[in-house]
Amino acid sequence: MVRVFVKWGKERFEVDANMEDSPLQLKSQLFSLTGVNPDRQKVLVKGKILDDNSWDGCELKDGMVMMMIGSGGMVPLPPPVSRSEENFDGMEAETSNSIVLPAGLKNLGNTCYLNATLQCFKVIPELRKALNKYSESVQDASSDNDGGSKALTAAVRDLYRMMDNQKSKNYGGVIPLIMIQVVHNVLPQFAARDEHGWMQQDANECWTELLRAFQTQLKVSDHELASKDHLASIVSRYMEGRFKIEMKNLESDVEPVSVTKETFLQ
């Protein structure tokens, strides 16, 4: 992790950059500060334009000054606080310092379906543990022919790590820019637009798609459990339900009982 300065017009920003993450992570920070969308940013590092996915040729050092070119809209501001809310905030001032609230996710325009889905998955301990052990990276997985499951899983893991970062908690929220881009690349139906921007989407469909990705990528670490096909996946082990259906002829004892089993995820 290095601390660099980014000059944008007359303004100068101090940001932390981790070269283990993709450059797009740095650009998402600049987006939150300037309102300039990453696809409209040109970040210059010693005369070289920074790529979205690779740091090749760009070595960052503490105190380095970079330049950003690009124009964008206003940075979203929080809603005005009423007088009663100000009084309430004052009453809670003493306790607020001791309470660490979890970081939320910023809405980038009809992306609430994804935010809600990700927040639901985030509170499942077994899923979080499996994600933390997942070793694929978004950049490496993007070219794999797996339907995008690796890229989706890696993007969720990286986003949760950002949300757990103390700076994100202090800021109050995370801009899930990389997550949105991965979802749009892998699942283009969620990238549909109209004249107003991204269209509204179904949270249940998003839940199902992410669940499919987790089911193929996140495996049970216990070898005994993993040896059983129906329990090899974290999703199958902790999030799958099972129906047992028995059918028998009440008018005759000769006909054997028919037993079937079905699984369900929601």
Greatest mean pLDDT among 22-36, 50-64, 202-216: 202-216
The pLDDT of residue 5 is 92
Predicted pLDDT of residue 223: 57
Q: Which residues, in sequence order, are CB contacts of 201 under 8 Å at separation 6+?
A: 110, 113, 114, 189, 190, 192
| pLDDT exceeds cutoff 70 at 77 | no
Which of the two residues, 166 and 245, has the higher pLDDT score?
245
Higher pLDDT, 171 or 229: 171
Q: What is the pLDDT of residue 224?
A: 47
Measured from the Cβ of residue 66, the count of other Cβ atoms closer than 10 Å reads 21
Between 13-22, 35-44, 75-84, 103-112, the lowest mean confidence (pLDDT) is in 75-84
In this prediction, residues 131-154 reach a mean pLDDT of 82
| Separation of alpha carbons 195 and 105, rounded Å | 24
- Tell me the pLDDT band of 174, cut-offs 50, 70 and 90: confident
Residue 229: pLDDT above 80?
no
Higher-pLDDT residue of 95, 184: 184
Q: Which of 192, 186, 113 is nearest to 152 (CA)?
A: 186
Question: What average pLDDT does range 228-251 have in this prediction?
Answer: 83
Per-residue pLDDT of 202-214, as tens digits, reads 999 999 999 999 9
Q: What is the mean pLDDT of the chain?
A: 82
Q: Are strands 104-105 and 173-174 parallel, antiparallel or unpaired?
A: parallel
Tens digit of each residue's pLDDT (9 = 90 or more) over 136-147: 888 766 556 777
Per-residue pLDDT, averaged over 10-19, amounts to 86
In the chain, the domains with their CATH numbers are 2-69 (3.10.20.90), 102-218 (3.90.70.10), 224-264 (no CATH)
123 confidence band (pLDDT: 50, 70, 90): very high
For residue 125, give both structure tokens.
């301990």
Instruction: Please give the pLDDT value at position 205.
Output: 95
Is the pLDDT at 36 greater than 50, yes or no? Answer: yes
Spatial CB neighbours of 174, under 8 Å, sequence gap ≥ 6: 103, 104, 105, 106, 159, 162, 163, 168
Percentage of the chain beyond pLDDT 90 is: 29
